[in-house]
């Protein structure tokens, strides 16, 4: 995961009030395939599921407190993620096939906290934990088959949650840090 963060912080006394926007590149792909037998028929079917993710954008207010050269803060806000889930069902006994794909963009929320510490003038390092929660996405696909009964509908759903831990280096354009 890599990205850019921009924002504005206001420091009344030792407090922090700010806002941050992130654009993160997250190339991630996971897939699994399962072949099993029907309970009522001596044939098998295969279900293949995959999920891919490319980027994440967040807009988050930040509140915190400064102690010397260190800063601790809490943050939370909206998140837009580009994750795509797909599922394929295959059954060779009935020559059946079904394939579904979710819409690519999902909006949800993100929350967490972090610490920053001054390195040298205008430069800080930071460590941050964020929990990303996107709403469940579901879709229905129609099974097409050549043999047996009429096609059926399969309903797939996926819940997208991520735990994000990241570290970074920040440059501050203002004269204060």
**Residue 112 has which token pair?**
């967490």
Nearest CA to 89 out of 158, 149, 36, 160 is that of 36
Integer angstrom CA distances of residue 33 from 89, 123, 162: 10, 47, 22
Q: Is 60 exceeded by the pLDDT of residue 177?
A: no
Q: Which residues contact 35 (CB under 8 A, 6 or more apart)?
A: 44, 45, 46
What is the reported pLDDT for 160?
80
- The average pLDDT across 80-103 equals 84
What is the reported pLDDT for 149?
62
pLDDT digits (tens, 9 = 90+) for 159-170: 788 898 999 999
Report pTM.
0.78
Query: Per-domain residue ranges for the chain?
Result: 2-65+80-107+134-168
54: left (phi over 0), alpha (psi -120 to 50) or beta: alpha
Q: What are phi and psi of 140, to 5 degrees?
A: -120, 130
- The average pLDDT across 48-72 equals 92
Which residues are registered as beta bridge partners of 105?
82
Which comes out higher in pLDDT, residue 75 or 138? Answer: 75
Q: Is 74 exposed, middle or buried (0-12, 13-18, 19+ CB in 10 A)?
A: middle
What is the reported pLDDT for 146?
73
Q: Is 70 exceeded by the pLDDT of residue 176?
A: no
């Amino acid at each position: 995961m890599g990205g850019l963060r921009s924002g504005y912080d206001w420091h009344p006394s030792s407090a922090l009030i700010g806002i941050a926007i992130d654009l993160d590149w997250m190339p991630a792909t996971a897939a699994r395939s399962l072949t099993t037998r029907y309970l009522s028929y001596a044939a098998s079917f295969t279900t293949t599921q995959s999920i891919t993710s490319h980027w994440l954008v967040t807009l988050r207010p930040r509140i915190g407190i400064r102690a010397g050269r260190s800063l601790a803060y809490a943050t939370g806000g909206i998140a837009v993620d580009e994750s795509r889930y797909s599922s394929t069902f295959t059954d060779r006994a009935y020559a059946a096939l079904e394939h579904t794909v979710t819409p690519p963009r999902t909006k949800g929320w993100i929350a967490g906290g972090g610490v920053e510490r001054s390195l040298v003038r205008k430069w800080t390092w930071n460590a941050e934990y964020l929990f990303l929660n996107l709403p469940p996405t579901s879709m229905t696909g129609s099974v097409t088959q050549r043999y047996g009964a009429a096609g059926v509908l399969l309903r797939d759903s996926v819940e997208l949650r991520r735990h994000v831990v990241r570290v970074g280096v920040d440059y501050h354009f203002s004269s204060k840090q």
